[in-house]
Structure formats: C-alpha cells, structure tokens
Structure 1
C-alpha cells in the first residue's frame, strides 16, 4: 500500500478552513502536514481538528519542506498561476482553487511546467468527482433524453460585501471568475463539447462583473447561462432533449445548497429521481488527486479541460460594458 500523500496548505482562507482542510483530513490517502499563514491567529481553527499540524509563517517554507509532497492553494485568484508554477518548480504536486488562471493564455506555461516536472497540477473543480455529474454525463452519452437541443444553467448568490475578495477586481474578483466556471465547465464536462460562438450581456460594479447572461451555440444544441453575485441563491442545470429532460437541482454545492438530485423525465407520466445523500465531493476530489499523483491514474479534470472554461470566461468578459 502506498504511503499517504503529504499535504501543505498555502494560506488560511475561510474556504480552506471550512471545507478543504476537513476534506484533506478525511480523504483516504491524504495527510495534512503543514499550514502556511501570515496571520498566526488563523491557524488555531485548523489545528483544532488537524492534530500535529505544523504552522509556518512563510508560504515559501512549504516549497522547501522535505515532508510535503503536494500543495493545496486557496489563495486569491490573481495569485493562482504564480503558486502553481512555484509548486511545480519545487517538485510538488499542486491542487489549486478555481479559477486556476486569470486568462486562457496563462495555461500554456502551467502545462509546460507540469509536463517538465512530471508532477500533477490540477484545478480544484470538485463537481466532476460527484456521482450526479458522472451520471448526467453517462445519461447524455447513452441518449437517455434523445438528442440534446438546449442547456439552461443558473448559479447566483448575493454578496455585496466590498471587503470580500470576490468584489475586489485587483484580486481577480467578479461573478464569471467565481461561479461562471460552474455553469460553463459543467456543460462542457457533461457534453464533451466546446462552444462554437458566444454572446454575453454583463452588468458591472467598478471594474468587475456582478451579472452575466451568456448565450452560446454548441454543435447541435444551444446554451443559456445566468450568473450573478447580486441575486438570491439559486442553482440549477437543465438538459433538454427531443425525447426527455434531465435536471440537476443542486449541481454545484451539493449537500450545502440542497441535496444532490438528478430528475429524469423521458415520457408522459414517467419521472425518475436519483439522489446522493451524504456524498462529499471535496473528499472524492482529494482522493482522486492522491490516486492520480501516486499511481498515474488519469485525473478527470486536466489543465487542458480547465483551459476550455477559461476561454469561455475570457470571451464573455469581452462584453463587460464601459463605465
């Protein structure tokens, strides 16, 4: 049996504390060794459930640590590429929060560094590890709803806090970067297709988007997405075919927004519902990463796949109106 992959966490973000550090702790094949934070007071909540956790005051200390195999990077968006490259150059595997880059052009250097280092580098796109999305992809491929003709996707929440990093353009804020990755990437993952063209209507505050209505044409089907950081909480993705409809009612924050469900309607009065209570997609993500890093098993969300989503984000942001 292979030894556990030993992890260091770069930065004590709230998301790391609430979600990913517990997932790293619970995942089979993973062991959290160290946390780097410039604010020592933020380390205590991590140490409470990570016994023996070493706390470093300098992020760079994790790069040179011999007892760390992989880094998890939950830093603000504008620092992601820098730390992916630093991790790979230091001979560490790296799992970085989404969006892993600020522009599609930044993927080339990360892919080259990954290939040169022989280490695994991936965007933390957890939904592809959840069985509801794997089931959705399989049902589409099997023709369960006939020929797919349209996809409707929405993700919204209301966060006007000016101190939140999502509302700071210098840190890579904005709705498309924060949650557009979900409506765009999930459609690409489930269908295996890339858009042929794209149009967007955006609203802005200061220098970032807070609302985006995006339409796109794929080969054989149309796509409509609404993403907003100024609307009430809502999540749903609907795949509409010529002989059925498939809806995912908690497609992105399964188990938190609501229970993960897949509702399939394929004939009059025929409706089936599949549910996955208790599934933690973050734990599944870590376990998949550890297996891939240690055995070479294919990872389900490569940098090349993540790049396609960033292309869509870049295209949509071209429509950001002038102030």
Structure 2
C-alpha cells in the first residue's frame, strides 16, 4: 500500500452517539487527522456535529463518497448498514474505520476484508480496548507466569435495561446484546487466547416480542483446553472485566473495555498466601486507535493482525448463533 500525504483527511458517514462522545474528540485531538467533512441524514444534527468538531463541511452521503479530497471515512452507522456503506467507501477508494461490529456475519466480514485487500486499502474495525496499555501489561504478566499456567479465562460486559425504543432492541439494524456488548468479551478472549478458539456451547436470551438478544453466555476453548467463559447482556447491573485463573493464582482486571482516559486501571493478583493490587497509568484507547489508523494509512503499513481478529470474531458470533440454546423472555 502506498503511503498517503498527511494529515489524513477524514469524512464521517453518520452522526452516531459513539462518534460524538469518543471517536470524533479523539480524531480532533490527533495531529495526523483532519476531520474534513461529515454526512448526516439529519441536517440539523450534522451542523451541530460540524460546529463542535472544527467546522467540517456538511455533505450528503453520495457527495461524501465522491469527494476527491477525502482520504478515509469513519463509519459509525448501525451494524446492519455497515456491509453496504463500507463496501461503497472501499470501491470509492477510501480507507475505512468502521464501528464495531464490522458486519453481523462472517461471510460479509470476509467479503469486506477481501475487498479492502484487493484495493490496497486499510479497513479497521473500531474495537478500541485492545489499544489500551492495560491489556499490554496483562499480556506481559501472563507471559511471565504471574498466576502460573493459564487454565481459564472469563470475561463479562453487561449493562442495565434500556428504554424500549432504544435501537439496541432492533435486530433489523444490528441491535441486540450479542452484536453490541458481546463483541467485547469475545474480542478479549481472542486477544488473550488466540484465534484458534472454538465455540462449544451458547445460551441466548431472546425478547419474544422483538427477537432481540438481550443477554447470553458462550463457552469456548483453545486446542490446548484453556476455557473461555463469555457473558454479555443488557438486563443486568453494569459489569465489565476480565479474569485469568492460573495454576497458582488469579489475575483480574475491572473496567477492561470502557475506561475513561482519566482512569488509572487496577490489576488484582490473588494467590493462596498473597494479595496484590497494581495501579497502572492512565491511557486513552480511542486516541490510540485513531492514531493507529492514521499511521497505517499514512505509512502504507497493513493491519493484517487486526483483520484476522475481525474475521475470527465474526465466525465466533456465527458459531454461537448456530449452536445456541435460545430462551424466550418477555
């Protein structure tokens, strides 16, 4: 891939809440990125976003795709719209940072990644948490056998119930706990245990009147027999974390997926005769991932490791849906 000239001129296709709260502030603070244009079906919303983030010009979707001075698109549309608009952006010669999940199924994900590779373009799924330094530290500690040989990994991301009109209860546009909250612990399991992870069993609780998955649990394992227990949902108290059970102890990490940039994460290690807490430095995972994206485009480097993660993540979702016991709930 040929390197582009900086700064990277980015257009934003859709004015979603995640763009407003996390990704666009990170882009605005990145010296390698210029937010140059945005498109919204709601003109007033588009102008509000533009006023808050440096005054990029407001265009229609088709105008943004055709804009010759835009190098890359950030696409925070609902999940079931990704396949169409990401493909169109790639065919228009734009690099793409797409909100997670990249698509709702493995076939569509494979097709988009193949299209990006065939056109020598960067396509990156915006899963930010692996770019936080706390996860690098955990990996180092596991490699150093801080809790002995790893035997079991557990991860959870749950939130309280949402208003009935919330888009997460609309499976037709990609709503549901599996594609929303479930992405985080699934990606964490792949990050720590490797891409050979295989789904053994799953339970999905499905709202009978809408068909939306409101919570679930996936059991998986590696070829070596390390197990992964993944829990997700939107009918619980708020929980987000990872735990690593080893032959000589337990390592746990709270706020594993959504730490604010001001948070100092805390690792906890427990052994039979020892308890320890390690406070880690603050870090900005959204700042890190937008810099990673800009660097990949501007230097002509690839993101093959990230592509494989996205590909395997989509297959785990497909496998979980295929084997799941589905329980209908009101």
- TM-score (norm: length of structure 1): 0.93
Is 2:81 the counterpart of 1:76? no
Q: Which residue of 2 aligns with 1:105?
A: 107
Could you tell me whether the CA contact under 8 Å between 2:199 and 2:319 is conserved in 1?
Answer: no
Is 2:42 the counterpart of 1:34? no
For 1:200-257, what per-residue CA distance to the aligned partner results, in whole angstroms no more than 9, with x for missing partners? 1221112121110221222231111211111111111101111232211110001289
For 1:115-140, what per-residue CA distance to the aligned partner results, in whole angstroms no more than 9, with x for missing partners? 11111001001011110112222322
Q: Which residue of 1 aligns with 2:299?
A: 295
Deviation at 1:151, TM superposition (A): 0.9
Q: 2:37 is paired with a residue of what secondary structure?
A: strand
Q: Which one is further off, 262-271 or 72-81? A: 262-271
Could you tell me whether the CA contact under 8 Å between 2:155 and 2:188 is conserved in 1?
Answer: no
| In structure 2, C-alpha distance between the alignment counterparts of 1:96 and 1:135, rounded to whole Å | 27
Structure 1 residue ranges without an equivalent (≥5) = none
| In structure 1, C-alpha distance between the alignment counterparts of 2:42 and 2:7, rounded to whole Å | 28
* 2:227 aligned to which of 222, 225, 244: 222
Q: 1:157 to 1:256 in 2, by over 3 A?
A: farther
Deviation at 1:193, TM superposition (A): 4.1
Q: Which residue of 1 aligns with 2:135?
A: 133
Q: Cα RMSD over matched residues?
A: 2.1
Q: 2:268 is paired with a residue of what secondary structure?
A: strand
Could you tell me whether the CA contact under 8 Å between 1:123 and 1:301 is conserved in 2?
Answer: no
Q: 1:301 to 1:33 in 2, by over 3 A?
A: farther
Q: Which residue of 2 aligns with 1:142?
A: 144
Q: Which residue of 2 aligns with 1:161?
A: 163
Q: Which residue of 1 aligns with 2:244?
A: 239
| In structure 2, C-alpha distance between the alignment counterparts of 1:193 and 1:304, rounded to whole Å | 8
Deviation at 1:280, TM superposition (A): 1.6
Q: 1:115 to 1:233 in 2, by over 3 A?
A: same
Could you tell me whether the CA contact under 8 Å between 1:8 and 1:62 is conserved in 2?
Answer: yes
| In structure 1, C-alpha distance between the alignment counterparts of 2:263 and 2:325, rounded to whole Å | 32
For 1:68-114, what per-residue CA distance to the aligned partner results, in whole angstroms no more than 9, with x for missing partners? 10100000000111121111111110000111011111122112211
| In structure 2, C-alpha distance between the alignment counterparts of 1:222 and 1:237, rounded to whole Å | 13
* 1:45 aligned to which of 43, 48, 55: 48
Deviation at 1:301, TM superposition (A): 5.2
Q: 1:156 to 1:258 in 2, by over 3 A?
A: farther
Q: Which residue of 1 aligns with 2:16?
A: 13
Could you tell me whether the CA contact under 8 Å between 2:122 and 2:302 is conserved in 1?
Answer: no
Q: Which residue of 1 aligns with 2:311?
A: 307
Deviation at 1:161, TM superposition (A): 2.0
Q: Which residue of 2 aligns with 1:92?
A: 94
| In structure 2, C-alpha distance between the alignment counterparts of 1:265 and 1:45, rounded to whole Å | 49
Could you tell me whether the CA contact under 8 Å between 1:80 and 1:100 is conserved in 2?
Answer: yes
Could you tell me whether the CA contact under 8 Å between 1:125 and 1:301 is conserved in 2?
Answer: no
| In structure 1, C-alpha distance between the alignment counterparts of 2:296 and 2:37, rounded to whole Å | 21
